Amino acid sequence: MTDPVEILAQFATGAPPPVHLSPLGAGHINDTFLVGTDSARFILQRINAAIFPDAATLMDNFSRITTHLRSRGATTLELIPTVEDVSFHRDAGGDAWRLVRYIENTRTATVPPTPQQAYCAAAAYGEFARHLCDLPGPRLHEVIPGFHDTPRRLGDFLSALEADPQGRTDGAREEIEAILEHRDWCPVIAGAIAEGSVPERIVHNDAKLDNVLFDTKTGKVACVIDLDTVMPGSFLHDFGDLVRSAAATAAEDETDLNRVTADQEIIDHLTNGFLHGCGDMLTARERELLPLAGKFVAHEQAMRFLTDYLLGDPYYKIHHPGHNLERARNQLQLVKSLAEAG
Ligand code: GN1
Ligand code: MG
């Protein structure tokens, strides 16, 4: 990888070195660094080309989304252009990099969140989609086609199972059975989208709790971040991702499964916050499916982690062998807890 300090010089920061640099965050996809000069701080990211091969279309979405959000009075990420006045820099090795201004005096919610944080995060995602509902055309690029197309995710899982290229299925029998037990959930949201009772909307598509920044002083939401997957999708997937990330009593890769349950009080706050944020946009069918979205999306996520494990971990960054299997187990435990609740 090219030295991130060298990359920083390609951006029109208006701030002179010296530069302090440290890796940041727990993202599964991109490489992220906090870079500070003496006068300003920025977030520098190397975009993972295996997952986002077309950086130009990704950044085109990014620019349109942030420009529109700003025109609506929302705080959003501020892209710093390169010295050549384009939205990203491609290094000699072909990697794409982008720079945004660091939003000072912010932090993510506590884990687990307070009920108030849950309400506010959900309201922020609802409002985010409401702000984007009149984004001027054309349709945003589908940067990862079929991203929340759960039947397609099931197809990928079944193919991985069949091929078993790493000989890992024997060690994951229980998890495989747990996925298959709920395979009839996979077409529910996709079917409602296909028949039109659940409309296509511009949504975040990775609506996890830690993609919301809170103001450290006021405790209010400052900004929704991680805009890579903002594209056409469904409210239900955003709400489901919120439930699986905010209402879980432990982190996504907690291995002590006794600690992993779904907190109903938090789910209630998420629901109220989301309904408030969306205003009157939800259709009757969206409202009907909202209480099921958490378990559907946690199941989809378990399927994605397990598929990656079976294929030899080509997609998600792992920190030790078996990490994706542990993540899948964790999400399946959450599915169980959510299913018991209804
Ligand atoms: C990935 O960017 P990051 O690491 O928050 C993934 C999401 C998954 C998530 C699992 C582009 O998100 O869809 O829900 O990991 N993003 C992509 O926590 O695949
Ligand atoms: Mg993401």
Q: Residue 319 carries which DSSP code?
A: S
Encoding tokens for residue 14? 């208006």
- The CA 27 to ligand 2 mean position distance, Å, reads 7
pLDDT in tens, 65-109: 999 999 999 999 999 999 999 999 999 999 999 999 999 999 999
The pLDDT of residue 171 is 97
Ligand 1 pocket, mutate which of 24, 29, 48, 326 (most atoms under 8 A from CB): 29
What is the per-residue pLDDT for 5? Answer: 85
Instruction: Please name the residues in contact with 279: beta carbons below 8 A apart, sequence gap of 6 or more.
Output: 126, 130
Of 24, 28, 208, which is best to mutate to test ligand 1, by the most ligand atoms within 8 angstroms of its C-beta? 28
**Does 85 lie in the same domain as 161?**
no
Residues 126 and 260 in one domain: yes
Q: Calculate the dihedral angle through the C-alpha atoms of 311, 210, 286, 332, rounding to the nearest 10 degrees.
A: 40
CB 234 within 8 A of CB 198: yes
Ligand 2 centroid to residue 312 C-alpha, Å: 21
CB 265 within 8 A of CB 115: yes
What are the φ/ψ torsions at residue 94 (nearest 5 degrees)? 95, -5
Which ligand is nearest the CA of 29, by number?
A: 1
The whole-number pLDDT of residue 25 equals 75
Give the residue-averaged pLDDT of 235-240: 98
Torsions phi, psi of 229, nearest 5? -105, 15
Does any ligand 1 atom lie closer than 6 A to the CB of residue 333?
A: no
Closest by Cα among 322, 312, 50, 299 to 163: 312
Alpha carbons 225 and 76: distance in angstroms, whole number: 7
- Atom number, ligand 1, closest to the C-alpha of residue 27: 4
Query: 337 Cβ partners below 8 Å, 6+ apart?
Result: 260, 261, 262
Q: Are both 94 and 204 inside the same structural domain?
A: no
Looking at residue 159, what is its pLDDT?
A: 98
Pick from 29-43, 132-146, 167-181, 206-220: least confident: 29-43
For residue 229 and ligand 1, the question of a CB distance below 6 A is answered with yes
CB of residue 307 inside a 6 A radius of ligand 1: no
Given a contact cutoff of 8 angstroms between Cβ atoms, the answer to whether 89 and 47 are in contact is: no
Q: Which strands sit side by side in the sheet containing 20-23, from one edge to the other?
A: 20-23, 31-36, 41-47, 96-101, 89-90
Once rounded to an integer, what is the mean pLDDT over residues 234-247?
A: 98
Please give the share of the chain, as a percent, with pLDDT higher than 90. Answer: 91
Tokens representing 232 are 């056409």
Name the residue at shortest CA distance from atom 17 of ligand 1. Answer: 29
Ligand 1 centroid vs 206 CA: distance in angstroms?
6
Q: Domain range spanning residue 137?
A: 115-341
Alpha carbons 139 and 137: distance in angstroms, whole number: 5
Whether residue 17 has pLDDT greater than 80: no
What pLDDT sits at residue 78? 97
- The stretch 261-265 carries a mean pLDDT of 97
Instruction: Report d(CA 340, CA 337) in Å as an integer.
Output: 5
pLDDT higher than 90, residue 3: no
CA count, 13 A, side-chain hemisphere, 293: 29
Q: Is the pLDDT of residue 151 over 90?
A: yes
Confidence (pLDDT) at 1: 74
Same domain? 46 vs 172? no
| DSSP string covering 18-70 | --EEEE----SSSEEEEEE-SS-EEEEEEE-TTT---HHHHHHHHHHHHHHHH
Using a 6 Å cutoff on CB, does residue 87 contact ligand 1?
no
Q: Does residue 122 share a domain with residue 83? A: no
Q: What CATH number is associated with residue 85? A: 3.30.200.20
CA 140 to CA 28: how far, in whole Å? 23
Domain count, the chain: 2
Q: Are residues 230 and 327 in the same domain?
A: yes
Q: What is the pLDDT of residues 127-143, one digit of tens each?
A: 999 999 999 989 999 99
**232 in ligand 1 pocket by Cβ < 6 Å?**
no
Does the beta carbon of 51 lie inside 6 Å of ligand 1? Answer: yes
Q: Is 189 in the pocket of ligand 1 (CB under 6 A)?
A: no
Question: Pick from 76, 102, 128: which residue ends a domain?
Answer: 102
Element (H, E) at 87: none
Residue 108 lies in a domain: no
Atom of ligand 1 lying closest to residue 315 CA: 19
Q: Output the six-digit token pair for 78.
A: 């501020």
**pLDDT band at 38; cut points 50, 70, 90:** confident
| pLDDT digit string, tens, across residues 39-62 | 889 999 999 999 999 999 999 999
**Cα gap 223→75, rounded to integer Å:** 6
CA 288, 114, 26, 183 torsion: positive or negative? Answer: negative
Mean pLDDT (the chain, rounded): 96
**262 assigned to some structural domain:** yes
The reply to whether ligand 1 has any atom less than 6 angstroms from the CB of 31 is: no
| One domain for residues 22 and 160 | no
**Which of 48, 70, 102 finishes a domain?**
102
Helix H or strand E encompassing 215: strand 212-215
Ligand nearest to the CA of 25: 1
Is residue 22 within 8 Å of residue 36, measured between CB atoms?
Answer: no
pLDDT digits 0-9 by tens, 278-327:
999 999 999 999 999 999 999 999 999 999 999 999 999 999 999 999 99
Q: Which residue has the tokens 């944020």?
A: 277
Are 180 and 51 in a shared domain? no
- 211-230 pLDDT, tens digit per residue, is 999 999 999 999 999 999 99
Ligand 1 pocket member 301 (CB < 6 A): yes
The predicted model scores a pTM of: 0.96
